[in-house]
Structure formats: C-alpha cells, structure tokens
Amino acid sequence: MTKFEELGLQDTLLRAIQDMGFETPSEVQEKAIPILLNEETDIVALAQTGTGKTAAFGFPLIQKINAESRTTQGLILSPTRELCLQITNELKNYSKYENINVVAIYGGASITDQARQVKKGAQIVVATPGRMQDMINRRLVDITKIEYCVLDEADEMLNMGFYEDITSILSHTPDDKSTWLFSATMPREVSNIAKKFMHTPQEITVGSRNSGSDKVRHEFYAVSGRDRYLALKRLADANPDIFSVVFCRTKRDTQSVAEKLIEDGYNAAAIHGDLSQNQRDLVMKSFRTRQIQMLVATDVAARGIDVDNITHVINYQLPDEIETYTHRSGRTGRAGKDGVSMVIVTKSEMRKIKSIERKIQKKFEQKAIPTGIEICQVQLFHLANKIHNTEVNEQVDEYLPAIMEIFEDTSKEDLIKRMVSVEFNRFYNYYNNKRDLNQPKGNSEERSSRGASNDHSTRYFINVGEKDGYDWMRLKDFLKETLDLGRDDVYKVDVKESFSFFNTDNDKKEKVLAHFTDFKVDGRFVNVEESTNTGGGGGGGRRRRDGGGGRRRRDGGGNSGGGDRRRSRRSENSSSDGGRRRRSDRNDGGGFRGRSRRK
C-alpha cells in the first residue's frame, strides 16, 4: 500500500496529514497527487462522493503555491456555501505549517468583509460561482494571475445552473493556467466543460464512471401511494440509530413530511430554499451534532450537506432525473462507511427502479416494510443492548440501598422484563396488530420478499444477528451448512442487530426446528423459532420466547432441553389497544422516538 511519504509531498504537508490522522492515501489521492505535483497539466478526476477529493487537489495546490507572494494564485469553485466553507477549513488544516492565506467567498454574508480579507492577500480563494461573479464585477477580487483553477463537484455546480457563471469567471483567468476538474459523475455537461475549457486533460477515474459508491446498498419498498408516510415511519422505527437524509421532490412536501415527523415525536427538521440562510445554518448545525436524526430535504438544499456517517438516505419520492438519484445516494457510504439508500415506491414507479439500476450498474434489493411486530422486536433488542452497554453513573450509588429495597422481592428476570417494558410497551401498544403496508406482489415471484410465512413457506426467528458478526450472506451460509440444505433452500434472510429472520419451504420446517433444539455455538444457545409475524388481524400470533414462568437462559433464550416449543399463549383477542392510542397514532400508530423534540 502506498504511503503519503511516497507521493512526493513536502514535509510540512506530511506533518499536517499526520496531525489530521490520515494514514494512507485514498485511491483518488494516490492517483492524482503525483500527477498534479509533477506536471503542469489539466486533469479530470472522477471519484464518488466521500473518496477524499478535497485532499487530492488540496495537497498539491498547497505545495505549489508560492507563500512569499501575496498574489492570488489558486481559485477553487465549489457549488455551495457549506462546501466552500468546508474546503476552506480543510485547506487551512493542510497548510497549518505554511504561511498561506485561504479566503472563502460565498453568498449570504457580508461582501465587504470578504473583500477586505482578499485584499490582505489571499493566495487561495475558495468561492461559490454566484458570489465570485459578483465580486469580479465589482472589481473586489483579481483572478487574472491565477495558475491553478479547481472546479470541485463540477457535476453539482452544473446541476445547479452555474454554467454561465463558470464560463464568465473562467474568461477572466489566464489561458496558461492549469485547470483541475473534480466530479463524482460525468454527465454530458461536465464533458462539455472539459472540452471547452481544458487543454488535453488527463483523466483519472476511481470506480466506474457514474456509478455510485460501492459501500451503498440500494433497497426499494413497494407501498401504495397513500402509505408513503407510514412506510417512512416504519423504516425509521426499524432502524433505531438512524441518521438520515429524507429526500422529497418539492419544498411543500419537504416541509409537510418534516412537520408530520416532528409532530409524531421524531427528531426531524426540514431544509429547503424557502428558509433563510440563518435558518438553514441552524438546521445544519443541529444535524451535524445529531440533535436531528432525520433531515428532510429538497435536492437543491441538500447539495450543501456534506456530513459524514449518514446511515440512511431515504428517497421518500424518487427524483425526476436519474442523475439526481446518484447524488442523493452519494450522501451515505462515505469515508469507508457502509450506507443504505432506500426508495419508497408505488407500483407505477417501479419502471424507474430499472432505469436507475441500469445507470448505477447495481441491483436494488426489494425489501418488505417491516411489520409492526418486527419493529417491536428490533426496538426491544436495541433497548436491551442499550441498557447492557450503558456506562454506570457512580452518582447512583448513593441511592442504591433505597432502590434495592424497592426491588427486594423482584427477581432479576422480572426486573429485566419490567425495565425493557418501560419503553417497549409504547412500541408494542402502537404497533400491535397494525396492518401490513406492503403492496401485494404482481408477477415478480423472485423479488417477493414479504417476510411472513405463507402456504408453502415458513418464516423463522433466530437469535443471532449483526453483532454476532453475521450479514445475510454469512447467516445463509451458516444455516445451509448447519442444516445441510441446498443453495436455494434458505431464503429471505434478514439480519437485524441482534437477531434475524429467514424462510424455508414448509417441508423443511420439522428439520429446522428439530435441529436447533438445544443447539450451541461457542457455548451459546442458538435458538430458532417459527415467526408468525403477519402483523395484521388475528392477534398477530406473537412469538413467546418462554413458556411463561419456565426456566430461561440468559445467554440464548433457548428452551432448555425438551423440545416442547410452545406457541403463542397470548389470547387471540387480548391485544386491543384499549383506546390508549396517542394523538400521533391516528394514522397507523407507531412511529415516535426519543424524548427530545425539536429544539
């Protein structure tokens, strides 16, 4: 593996890189940096979002700038104010051991302040096209002597309609400068720019052109149009740690979806063009600091969102342009992390999924909107893990004797049950017996992923999940091997954090259940039970993991010894909500999270 030291970077940069904690160059950095350092050339670099493009041009640029001269030598154009500030910040970090001034120029802030900073001597200017044009017109900045011009996120700049501004800005720059174009995708408009304004540029491509990040999984969920919002809530509830951007098509939808989410108790907010710059800044700040878990955004407003660790991108509605889908899904799966891009579709939009698949050259997985009971299970285990992993506050010690007294007669098992019930009950009460939101399948048998059991297939619950190191492929392999089954005998494997589901045909049921009676892996009981979580009607047939009052194992929850697998003991009709629904439940119930509301 190449190291930063081998790319030809000077010592001051290497020290800064070390301070930032970067260990090895990313692919685009490894390819671009030596070329840019050693040659005066134009370059077109295509790499997905989150692959480290800023440093790929930033390091060579810093190294090439003459710090002795105060002339503006480098210009970076970037689509939004947020990106502009982010790049400026990064460049300042890179150049901390140099004497280089980097100045940001963007709309929505005082132009005279910015002009003053430029005047003090800015070797590098980072600008949004609109404000740059403005400052050129007012002669507040001089770019006639620049040697390097970077067009960052070129595809997004063009998407946002900055073509005219860019051409006009470039007309003020010298012909013999080098132009470095960085982009995630290469639509026609970008290659036009390259043809028109660049001299035989070298091209670097990381990954395939126009494809999304490899770290992103693409999923779609088919629902009827009127269930879109309920589906969104279920997706959120089934992913308790979600940190997501939810894309809507219009400002109005963006606003109304966010409002509904807030009303239903989620940490959500809207970001769109009708908000003032100040409001947008506040929203982005809360999002970065995770006070907001679901940011509902229009495509234009989202251009500036450059936040790492987004776990899910949710396409509440699909965009008109396929290109836009690539941008949306590129918000997740950044900096080496995994991400999921979910699409909520109606039947009539199914064609679009095909076109997107062709474009991104990746397959979508059709998934089922989780049933109410599946969500309850996810939440229950999430809560149990959370309690288990909580750091104990020593302040509690003082009250412990008194608290112990309260629980004197409570067994450990009972105590745990009560503790998890505190929160679990809310979900259970909301989701119990809620209907299935999934659109019944038309033709595509293969794609069907309705989880629940049906006439010929049995759905199982198994008490191992992601935290045991399984993903769906590993679990499928494990089950095939353990049960000695064929390639396609285990299907619809759905791995959650600490448990999973899978299906087999009915004729395998006896074998599966018998095999996992008293079955241990690494000294731990692995337990498989039939899951009859159809989620609607008839009492839901909820699994009972214990026979009620019987012995239970802490580690696996497996029934000890005997094979008497007791089925649901809950009475069929005992599950009514008893009028205890909350206001937010008037549609579907379910969907509420966290205690905190919008700040």
Residues 94-133 that bind Mg ion (CB under 5 A): none
Select 187 or 557, whichever has its Cβ closest to ligand ADP: 187
Amino acid present at 306: D
With CB under 6 A, what is the number of residues at the site for ligand ADP?
A: 15
- Our finding on whether 328 is near Mg ion (CB under 5 A) is no
Spatial CB neighbours of 563, under 8 Å, sequence gap ≥ 6: 514, 517
Stretch that binds Mg ion, among 46-54, 61-69, 90-98, 111-119 (CB under 5 A): 46-54
- Cβ-based nearer residue to ligand ADP, 29 or 73: 29
Euclidean distance between CA atoms 189 and 158, whole angstroms: 7
Which span (50-58, 103-111, 496-504, 555-563) binds ligand ADP, by CB under 6 A?
A: 50-58
CA 502 to mean position of chain CA atoms? 25
Report the distance separating Cα 437 and Cα 231, nearest Å: 7
Q: Which is nearer to ligand ADP, 90 or 263 (CB)?
A: 90
Total residues binding Mg ion (CB under 5 A)? 1
Q: Closest CB to ligand ADP among 334 and 496?
A: 334
Minimum distance from residue 372 beta carbon to ligand ADP (Å): 38
Contact status: 50 vs ligand ADP (CB under 6 A): yes
Least gap, CB of 308 to ligand ADP (angstroms): 5
- Evaluate whether 83 touches 132 at the Cβ level (below 8 Å): no
Residue from 43, 54, 75, 463 binding ligand ADP (CB under 6 A): 54
Q: Given candidates 53, 218, 327, 492, which one binds Mg ion under the rule CB under 5 A?
A: 53
What letter does residue 586 receive in the DSSP assignment? S
Residue 51 interacts with ligand ADP (CB under 6 A)? yes
Identify residues 6-35 at the interface with ligand ADP (CB under 6 A).
22, 25-26, 29
Q: Residue 590 binds which entry of ligand ADP, Mg ion, none, with Cβ cut-offs from 5 to 8 Å by kind?
A: none
List the one residue out of 143, 336, 264, 314 whose CA is nearest residue 589: 264
Verify binding: residue 426, Mg ion, rule CB under 5 A.
Answer: no
CB closer to ligand ADP, 18 vs 425? 18
* Site map (CB under 6 A) of ligand ADP, residues 244-273, x = contact: ------------------------------
Options 9, 52, 307, 431; binder of ligand ADP; rule CB under 6 A? 52
Least distance in Å: CB of 54 to Mg ion? 5
What are the beta bridge partners of residue 504? 458
Q: Residue holding tokens 């492929």?
A: 473
- E-assigned strands of 319-453? 339-345, 365-366
26 binds, among Mg ion, ligand ADP, none (CB under 5 to 8 A by kind): ligand ADP
DSSP per residue over 505-533, as a string? EGGGHHHHHHHTTTEEETTEEE-EEE---
Residue among 280 and 331 whose Cβ is closer to Mg ion: 331
Binding mask 291-330 for ligand ADP (x = CB under 6 A): -----------------x----------------------
Give per-residue burial for 72-108: e unless 16+ CB within 10 Å, then b.
bbbbbbbbbbbbbbbbbebbbebbeebebbbbbbbbe
Phi, psi for residue 80 in degrees, rounded to 5: -130, 165
**Options 51-59, 220-228, 517-525, 526-534: segment touching ligand ADP (CB under 6 A):** 51-59
| Six token digits for residue 326 | 């690539």
196, containing H or E segment: helix 188-197
The C-alpha torsion from 34 through 40 and 43 to 49, rounded to 10°, is 50
Phi, psi of 360 (to 5 degrees): -90, -5
Residue 133 interacts with ligand ADP (CB under 6 A): yes or no:
no
- Residue 521 within binding range of ligand ADP, rule CB under 6 A: no
- Smallest CA-to-CA distance from 27 within 169, 156, 155, 205 is with 205
What 3-state class would DSSP assign to 577?
A: coil
The binder of 308, among ligand ADP, Mg ion, none, by C-beta within 5 to 8 A per type, is ligand ADP
CA distance 545 to 553: 11
Residues that bind ligand ADP (CB under 6 A): 22, 25-26, 29, 47, 49-55, 308, 334-335
